[in-house]
Structure 1
């Protein structure tokens, strides 16, 4: 039995020894052999694109190798490569990558663009068509806060504890077409809302649809963008496997998905961004506060059939328990910061 394939994009940060962003992305990307590396909005960011993968082990191998190669290239440019979702030091405004699209974004969006040296992780899952992607989007909405909490990795920003587990998600929410996607009745409904955003000038084009789930504009995939870039490859593989299982579960259901109270979903997002895995979250369907540990248990039960089909139920359960026991990136960042330890060393790839 075939299962939908998956691919991952990881955005990573280039910094100095002291944690200040280093604008050397073009040189680092050019000297990284054999890895699909893209430039991002600011010149201190690089993005790894994994190949299409069929198994969690394959994805783990590809990401581990790509991170290692990119870290070597960064070191050659006197920079360190961090798996962190917001700069731990420096100043807010960054140099924009010299690509026409990014320069136009800087002109149109000003400081909003220049302060976006934040790093996410995007998971792509194969779906039959755009209508299927829209149904999947609706089905995934209740689980997006739990995925955000699980992978939160931006507690420290510009030398201070933000008080949030995912400061990246708070910063990213300032874009005009970001956060949880609306509930869509059809692909035509999606296209009409996107056309409105473009017509008003709120976004430049469909590529600026930054909702946390979106159908690809050119591939038969759905992209889930809710996560900080995780601290470890194992956490990225966990995220991708959960997203894959969620997509499989949604496709098996076949319906349009549950309608949710928007303010409940908004509150669940905010709690996940602030508290991560350390406190209560919100069960979106019932508006009940529940410990995030219980919400993650509900998520595992929701996708249990798909995880069994993928033969990944044990890996997912063991990795979630390890993250809850040892902490995710946000927990570890905050512990290091409060102890006066080096957040750069904690999050540096290859250390």
Structure 2
């Protein structure tokens, strides 16, 4: 076809070669029975079926077509034809990179001169080639264009491998890889990423050299991840595992055509070929084989690790024009997002193995999926007595989220406990070493004065929240954040809540005055754009709000990083229901921040993250959020105030319209810009004149002091006429004489908190305090009653946490992040914090840790 024709993507013809394992339906083992079926298959469709190197593997060839719809129909036709003949012989057909069980008789080689020669030359490589792939052929104008397509496509091919990964098992063992087929495949001397080549002549010279060297016996043994076909005018994608589902094949085929069209266009327009280090391409393929869609992937163009959701979206963005031109965008983008939500086939196979049926159950599932049938849902396991090793001595003191009062694992956690039991203490300890290495590689530190490179504490046992619970909790959190925003607006305006006696003046340490920074916001500005609300489950499993944080709440990036680390080091842990993607948080946060830009900023407001710098214990979060949002992270000295008062990035000169403030307001205002100018006056003037938005603005601490906490529920009804959806912990305002008397009498039963405290500092837990500590607390309380509140001691829920030996119950809370704006929402990045042994204090600065929080679909 002519080069001009190739630019019309919808006319480009493609075809698919699929490889399948034959398995005995009784033993579930791969068996070498392809030869006995070939004649009958040839009678049905002479060109559609072919033998492979192993006599237990058969190949199908679809009809060439420009239509993904027609391709799907033909793939279904061939699978049904093959499955029908197989079933007559008591066999099943499996589309997957590997099959978990292999009959000893399957070790032979198909009888043909070429395959026999390969057996003699390559020995073990041939004997262990018990793997299946999916190959996609796409028409190209000529072989020069095919080579160009290889070069332009190379950095994106590992993403396709991750989406297709379907070979976690080899000979009944979990390999630890989502695509063990890739490991086996890359042992061949001519396999792997495409070599950096200029044109077809350069490619042919390479092939000639390889044949002459004896490395390969014929040109058909070029096993690059993408290559020009040896016999057709096509480029052939070869990197992917075989797929159990037709949808998986259609997705890969659609992306392969778009990559081809993109490369042909670049070649036709004379664009230079991209240059990438072959070692990085190979490393990206290795990472994709290791991770599948359950761990981080290498963004080759950006030369960094990214979550799979971002890698897939980058690929879709790269190919959107080509997919739309072909009419494939809706189908391919929908299938890609479904694949992200569902996870890789490798993850589903591990789930099936761990939930029941072992390797035989995995084969049954793959046979059903390959035939296009839905395997009957497994019943959830009946709660069993706690496991004898990991939970042998598990004795929760109150309500535990995973284990009930009778010592039985709750149904939601049954699959997780089963997986943890399979790993055992030694397995988890090994994964903890990987965790530490991952955290160091990501600079995931939470520094303390005596430990500047302290890793952010992370327990590998995830916390599970059902979708139903999360929906109800989110509604209550949004309602509470709206109440706090209404209170801030009221206190900076009419102060109706004070006038009407809903909030006593004694609950406020100060009130805004006209000259205060918090009074300078233009009308209509959102004050509590981002809030971090701390909630706990009580002794009956009910959610209660513990604290409100409206100043500069931290934890979003740590929650995201926890997910990435756990996903990377424990890919075998996959929830049967699926887990909500936490990587959407930065995009939602960015949109909310930009929605607050001054009107004069136009369509492209400049956004930065303001930080104190590496000395801040949460600097990791500041840097990560800035990177995820694609904006600069700056210390105050990274700003420059121009002569006309415009705020800019000192290095680039880019105008700054919105700043996400992650630095104490006084430190920010006391700082100097890049030219040594004080920042207080120009920043405050820019905010007052609506030329600049500082978020969260100064002054939000007015309503997140703990003295305001007891009045938030009545304020909800006052402002909105609604009953509060979330309970809170019964709290005593010590500034009220009658309540002070009660607190002093019952101090040994209560939790005493400074109204302006944070990070767990200054808290006295009465039941755990010594007599001397109680006496000192009472004396300070009498001297400064308005500086404290007291709360009833709540029986906070516990959660299994790995101790290095077994699982033990530890108190947990949840910090959820609410973003107000046009569409108030709770970010899908809640941070579970874990208290140390025998403690109720979860703060990281006080020895607490964290968990990955899985919101189940």
In the superposition, the TM-score normalised over structure 1's length comes to 0.97
Q: How does 1:4-19 map to 2 (within 5 A)?
A: 4-17=12-25, 18-19=27-28
In 2, distance between residues paired with 1:190 and 1:206?
A: 11
Q: How does 1:111-190 map to 2 (within 5 A)?
A: 111-190=124-203
In 2, distance between residues paired with 1:223 and 1:141?
A: 12
In 2, distance between residues paired with 1:49 and 1:37?
A: 6
1:344 partnered with 2:363? yes
RMSD: 1.4
In 2, distance between residues paired with 1:76 and 1:114?
A: 28
1:202 partnered with 2:215? yes
- CA drift at 1:126: 0.2
Q: 2:65 aligns with which of 53, 56, 61?
A: 53
Q: 2:240 aligns with which of 227, 230, 246?
A: 227
1:2-35: per-residue Cα shift (whole Å, max 9, x none)?
5210000000000113331111112223223236
Q: How does 1:177-326 map to 2 (within 5 A)?
A: 177-254=190-267, 255-326=271-342
Unaligned stretches of 5+ residues in structure 1: none
For the pair shown, which has the larger CA radius of gyration, 1 or 2? Answer: 2
- CA drift at 1:91: 5.7
Q: Greater CA deviation, 130-139 or 189-198?
A: 189-198
Q: Greater CA deviation, 87-96 or 311-320?
A: 87-96
Q: Which position in structure 2 is the counterpart of 1:22?
A: 31
- Return structure 1 stretches of 4+ with deviation > 2 angstroms: 28-32, 90-93
| SS of residue matched to 2:154 | helix
Q: Greater CA deviation, 197-206 or 12-21?
A: 12-21
1:90-148: per-residue Cα shift (whole Å, max 9, x none)?
26861111111111111111121011020000000000111000000101100011000
Q: 1:89 aligns with which of 81, 94, 101?
A: 101
1:333 partnered with 2:349? yes
Higher helix share: 1
In 2, distance between residues paired with 1:28 and 1:147?
A: 32
In 2, distance between residues paired with 1:313 and 1:41?
A: 36
In 2, distance between residues paired with 1:325 and 1:72?
A: 31
Q: Which position in structure 2 is the counterpart of 1:34?
A: 45
- CA drift at 1:256: 4.4
In 2, distance between residues paired with 1:256 and 1:207?
A: 28
In 1, distance between residues paired with 2:67 and 2:116?
A: 38
Say if 2:31 and 2:102, in contact at 8 Å, map to a contact too: no
In 2, distance between residues paired with 1:303 and 1:3?
A: 17
Q: 2:114 aligns with which of 91, 101, 124?
A: 101
| SS of residue matched to 1:230 | coil
1:41-97: per-residue Cα shift (whole Å, max 9, x none)?
000000000010111100000001100110111112221111111121126861111
| SS of residue matched to 1:31 | helix
In 1, distance between residues paired with 2:109 and 2:347?
A: 30
Q: Greater CA deviation, 60-69 or 71-80?
A: 71-80
| SS of residue matched to 2:107 | coil
In 2, distance between residues paired with 1:29 and 1:331?
A: 33
- CA drift at 1:279: 1.4
In 1, distance between residues paired with 2:39 and 2:146?
A: 34
In 1, distance between residues paired with 2:276 and 2:28?
A: 41
1:150-205: per-residue Cα shift (whole Å, max 9, x none)?
11010122111111000001100000100111110121211111111111111001
1:66 partnered with 2:78? yes
- CA drift at 1:309: 1.0
Unaligned stretches of 5+ residues in structure 2: 1-7, 374-857
Query: How many residue pairs are counted as aligned between the two chains?
Result: 351
Say if 1:39 and 1:46, in contact at 8 Å, map to a contact too: yes
In 1, distance between residues paired with 2:317 and 2:221?
A: 34
| SS of residue matched to 1:123 | strand
In 1, distance between residues paired with 2:183 and 2:318?
A: 27
Evaluate the alpha carbon distance shift between residue 172 and residue 55 of structure 1 in structure 2; reply closer, same or farther with a 3 A threshold: same
- CA drift at 1:286: 2.3
In 1, distance between residues paired with 2:306 and 2:297?
A: 5
In 2, distance between residues paired with 1:87 and 1:227?
A: 15
In 2, distance between residues paired with 1:257 and 1:99?
A: 40
| SS of residue matched to 1:303 | helix
Q: Which has the higher contact order (CA 8 A, sep 6+)?
A: 1
Say if 1:39 and 1:47, in contact at 8 Å, map to a contact too: yes
In the superposition, the TM-score normalised over structure 2's length comes to 0.40
- CA drift at 1:263: 2.0
| SS of residue matched to 2:28 | coil
Say if 2:97 and 2:166, in contact at 8 Å, map to a contact too: yes
